[in-house]
Structure 1
Amino acid sequence: MNDDVLSGLLDGGAWFRVEEAASASGVRRAAERLAAELALPAKRLADLSIMVAEAAGNLVKHAEQGTMMVRTVRDEASASAGVEVIAMDSGPGMADVARSAFDGHSTAGTLGIGLGAILRQASWADLHSVPGKGTVLTAQIWPATAPAPAWAAGITRPLTGEQHSGDACAVRVADGRHQVLMVDGLGHGPLAAAAAQEAVRVFRLAAPGPPTTVVEALHRGLAHTRGAAVAVAETDQEAGVVHYAGLGNITGTIHAHGVPRKGLVSLPGIAGHQRRQIRSYDYSFPTGSTLIMHSDGVVDRWNPGDYPGLLSHSPQVIAATVLRDAGTRRDDAGVLVARHE
């Protein structure tokens, strides 16, 4: 494994196409290398190896266009780190996920033990599947007890042929403020990735304040880079409101049961180089709502109604599903999801 792949595993994640046994073995080795770097206990490393082998094997045996991502996940409260695996495919999907999770159930004449083994080994897992569209699975291995499920999470992917993604996302809780960042570095390749990672660094270190203050800090902090489109959202779960400030071409939408989706306003500009003004807009965000933000590498034509039950799942599964079906291979692509439980 080269240093670029290891850096991706430790940072934003590394992607693998899984279409044959050899590629499945490669994913398992990468996950084991990451677990060793994070000093996971031997028992948890073994659990991870089984989990990844089963997930990759399922893609090889049953799936169409199977891909997997392996990355580090961190819990600030306990200062611990784990390994997250996301597996997705474009078919055939499962009509009854609960039944498929029982050992012995199979749709392809195999032993049917893969999904049950994955769920047993994982510290935490989530799964959504639609017949004809495919399946998304996310599973985590932690050194000890898994932390509470994330209220927000994102996923990014570089355009085909690139190792570095110019899209990035981040989540933070600062002085009680629950904030998320979606960033799209200008252009592609290492310089775009450098701008995106600098935006993440500035976001994480910025003094606590409303989204406008954070976007101002991002604009100043990106002056030495090629610049980026950025958007910061703050979810006030108690008040049921999203405060949102964007600069450049980041798309944000709120999805609530029984209500047409609401598009969020992002103003023209390039953080670090061009801005006329930075304003914050407030939107209703009642219990059960979902905020989805994405870069222009994701087309805004997907319909949640085509994915029954999806918006009740974890942010990771929602983000991966949107990326799979709406992300373009001709551009870096990133999706970030925050939920109001």
Structure 2
Amino acid sequence: MTTMTRPGLPQPTGDVWIHVEDDGSVPTVRRRATELATIAGFDENRVAQVGIAATELASNIVKHAGEGSVVLRRIQAETTTGVELITIDSGPGRRNIHAMVADGTTTSGTLGIGLGAVKRMAGALHLHSVPGHGTVVSAALWPSLEQPAALPVSGLVRPLRGQEVSGDAIAHRAFEGGHLIMAADGLGHGPLAAVASTRAVEVFQESAGVAPGALITRMHGALSGTRGAAVAVVRLDEDTRTVVHAGVGNIAGRLLGEHRSRGMASQPGIVGHNLPRVRETSFDASDTRAVVLHSDGLTEKWELSSLPGVIRQGPAVLAAALMREAGVRRDDASVVVLRVPA
């Protein structure tokens, strides 16, 4: 099966992670955010707004959680490039965080503009907070206040601490009537692992095919001169609400609904070195709200019950919450989330 496709996530391994632990970390977040906005072609006023939003969000971590992480990256919607800011903390959390978005609500110790002003500058602000677990906030800013149509997919890639690059990678393609997502985990860590996972992404993006098993088989030949990788690919057919999954190696997959979670099992093997006959498995996704793939940098021992309401948030918030809850292993980590339309 072939069809016209178009790329989604433009540079899935380009996440910039900044650890925030005190007020001295905030200027770094602001500087890196404004650099990304400048590279994306924002005008001077819009670059300044990105800096203000980044300062407010990073300062909120210091004030309310003590420490946490800010993720900065460029995002793409058709031909428009934007900047996304994601904050993740494991602080006390709040039961009524959405009240902080109301006009006039500020956070002491920051610029005092409040999350309501950040939302106006961003156009869209998504957040999730659970007492005892922490808070996740995502804001996407574009060159103007006019918001392009949001992609139903997002994800995060985090390198092993001390490494400059991650051996994990994620990718997405949209095609007429559906979406494809993939996750790849190059064996080991660092640049050589990244060569394998990046090559898998290149094959995924360059191919016109949408059959998950055939895509992995094609990757196998392309990765033969690399360390190899664990890879999983999922196709969502929106008209039939069907998910087709194929995976080789330690990439976990789940179908998430409001009331139940179903696993999608991968086969043993290494793409590029030891490939079994790749099997595809089809699932009825009529009661599914999101599809998740993640590397073994995230433990599989996570449950949505500990994150009430997160399934109703945007895919970036869901990905960030899962990274916080399950990304506890000392390893590269990646997660990609595809929302299933109602």
Q: Which moved more, 1:62-71 or 1:46-55?
A: 62-71
* Structure 1 unaligned residues grouped into runs of 5+: 1-8
CA shift in 2, pair 1:130/1:108, >3 Å = farther
TM-fit CA distance, 1:242: 0.6
* 1:153 and 1:337 in contact (8 A); partners too: yes
* Structure 2 unaligned residues grouped into runs of 5+: 1-10
Residues 188-219 of structure 1: CA deviation (Å, up to 9, x unaligned)? 01111121112111111112231111111211
Mapped partners of 1:110, 1:139: distance in 2: 17
State which of 19, 28, 31 in structure 2 corresponds to 1:17: 19
Residues 78-126 of structure 1: CA deviation (Å, up to 9, x unaligned)? x121111110111121211221112444676888643122212113221
The residue aligned with 2:45 is: 43
Q: Which moved more, 1:166-175 or 1:184-193?
A: 166-175
Q: Which moved more, 1:206-215 or 1:247-256?
A: 206-215
Name the aligned partner's letter for residue 297 of structure 1. G
Q: Which moved more, 1:50-59 or 1:287-296?
A: 287-296
* 1:103 and 1:113 in contact (8 A); partners too: no
* 3-state SS of paired residue (2:160): coil
RMSD of aligned residue pairs (Cα, Å): 1.9
The residue aligned with 2:68 is: 66
TM-fit CA distance, 1:179: 0.2
Residues 273-298 of structure 1: CA deviation (Å, up to 9, x unaligned)? 11121110001211552211110010
The residue aligned with 2:266 is: 266
* 3-state SS of paired residue (2:76): strand
Mapped partners of 2:287, 2:151: distance in 1: 16
Residues 115-173 of structure 1: CA deviation (Å, up to 9, x unaligned)? 12221211322111111211101111111322222211111111111111111111101
* 1:64 and 1:90 in contact (8 A); partners too: no
Name the aligned partner's letter for residue 210 of structure 2. G
* 3-state SS of paired residue (2:298): coil
The residue aligned with 2:240 is: 239
* TM-score (structure 2 length as normaliser): 0.91
* 3-state SS of paired residue (2:335): strand
* 1:54 and 1:117 in contact (8 A); partners too: no
The residue aligned with 2:154 is: 153
Mapped partners of 1:111, 1:276: distance in 2: 56
* 2:60 and 2:107 in contact (8 A); partners too: no
Mapped partners of 1:156, 1:228: distance in 2: 15
* 2:12 and 2:157 in contact (8 A); partners too: no
The residue aligned with 1:178 is: 179
* 3-state SS of paired residue (2:126): strand
Mapped partners of 1:225, 1:146: distance in 2: 40
Alignment of 1:134-283 (within 5 A): 134-144=134-144, 145-259=146-260, 261-283=261-283
The residue aligned with 2:59 is: 57
CA shift in 2, pair 1:301/1:112, >3 Å = farther
TM-fit CA distance, 1:19: 1.2
The residue aligned with 1:297 is: 297
Mapped partners of 2:244, 2:55: distance in 1: 42
Choose between structure 1 and 2 for higher RCO, CA contacts under 8 A separated by at least 6 residues: 2
* 2:196 and 2:223 in contact (8 A); partners too: yes
Name the aligned partner's letter for residue 66 of structure 1. G
* 3-state SS of paired residue (1:270): coil
TM-fit CA distance, 1:10: 9.2
TM-fit CA distance, 1:63: 1.3
CA shift in 2, pair 1:108/1:81, >3 Å = closer
Name the aligned partner's letter for residue 61 of structure 2. L
Mapped partners of 2:54, 2:323: distance in 1: 21
Name the aligned partner's letter for residue 274 of structure 1. N
Name the aligned partner's letter for residue 220 of structure 1. G
Q: Which moved more, 1:41-50 or 1:286-295?
A: 286-295
Mapped partners of 1:83, 1:110: distance in 2: 21
* 2:160 and 2:333 in contact (8 A); partners too: yes
State which of 30, 33, 43 in structure 1 corresponds to 2:32: 30
Mapped partners of 2:137, 2:119: distance in 1: 10
* 1:297 and 1:331 in contact (8 A); partners too: yes
Name the aligned partner's letter for residue 26 of structure 2. A
Mapped partners of 2:281, 2:315: distance in 1: 23
* 2:254 and 2:292 in contact (8 A); partners too: yes
Mapped partners of 1:107, 1:142: distance in 2: 24
Alignment of 1:81-160 (within 5 A): 81-105=81-105, 113-144=113-144, 145-160=146-161
State how many pairs are aligned: 330
